Structure 1
Amino acid sequence: MKRAIILAVSLLAACDILPRDPAGTSKRIAERRSFTVALADPTVHEAAQVRTLVHEIERRTRAKAQWRPGAGEVLFQQLDDGTIDLVIGRFSAESPWAMDVAFGPPLSTTGTKDVPLQLKAAMRNGENRWIMTVERASRAISQEARDE
């Protein structure tokens, strides 16, 4: 019986370890109480879902968004090297970045039926705890939009 209790306590303690951020994104955000956001396309700044998503992430992390200017290739390089935590934009399903970054669930879809563009967040690959935080916030925002 004692062994079962010890095993159960050990397993519960291990749950906090996963998912992991090998580069420590979530830990850094918690310590600094800020995260960096950039827009791949400045026109999406006007989209209500972008503001709502960022506010939801701020609420969940108790951190403040720090907006960074930039565009295209440079933003994804900064995302990859950890200078930026989140890039938000409209991306196609055939985005060349799909293998290099983790995309969150779409907040909305525009474009044509043949070439849809999805408004979504991109995060650094492998930072699973951070990715999970953004994905959960994105799903909450997407659900709110569907309920309206």
Structure 2
Amino acid sequence: MKQGIIAIAFLLLGACDALPRDPANTSDRIARSHSFTVALTDSSVRAAPEVDRLIREIERRTKARAQWRIGSGELVLQQLDDGTLDLAIGRFTAESPWATDVAFAPALSTTGSKDSPIELKAAMRNGENRWIMTVERASRAITQEAREQ
């Protein structure tokens, strides 16, 4: 009986490595190809130093290189939703119509008024939870680093 419980515990422990999951295998694909695709919703975002820091941190964590794509606005977010793009970075309001279609990482910076803030942040395809967690952790790490400086 005791050996059976130990065997089940090891099986369950081994299964934990697969969580969180990416139904479309984004993280596995990035690990195999050593690259991920990224685009900006607005080209002016490229000047924000947080963008470079975020990309470098994701590259470090994934051991993959960012492959930049050209695009803007709705097209970029549609590509993200379709799964043909891994990461979109832009400035978004709380009322963004994409808030239910994509997963947003924590804000890298905030501008605008207190009543209507505009947040610079990354967006990922909904449901790709392992990839989302990677980007969220990278976002938090660089914002924490900025606060400590």
TM-score, length-scaled by structure 1: 0.97
List structure 1 runs of 4+ shifted beyond 3 angstroms: none
Equivalences for residues 61-80 of structure 1 within 5 A: 61-80=62-81
| One-letter code aligned to 1:7 | I
- Which structure 2 residue ranges, 5 or more long, are not aligned? none
Give CA deviations for 1:61-114 in whole Å, capped at 9, x if unaligned.
Answer: 000000001011111111011111000011001111000000000011011222
| One-letter code aligned to 1:128 | N
Identity percentage over the alignment?
Answer: 69
In structure 2, the partner of 1:133 is 134
| One-letter code aligned to 1:37 | V
What number of residue pairs does the alignment pair up? 148
TM-score, length-scaled by structure 2: 0.96
Q: CA deviation at 1:4?
A: 2.5
Instruction: Provide the aligned C-alpha RMSD in A.
Output: 0.8
- Which structure 1 residue ranges, 5 or more long, are not aligned? none
| One-letter code aligned to 1:12 | L
Equivalences for residues 1-148 of structure 1 within 5 A: 1-148=2-149
Report the Cα distance in structure 1 between the residues aligned to 2:147 and 2:12, rounded to whole angstroms: 37
Give CA deviations for 1:27-46 in whole Å, capped at 9, x if unaligned.
Answer: 11011100000011111111
Report the Cα distance in structure 1 between the residues aligned to 2:42 and 2:75, rounded to whole angstroms: 12
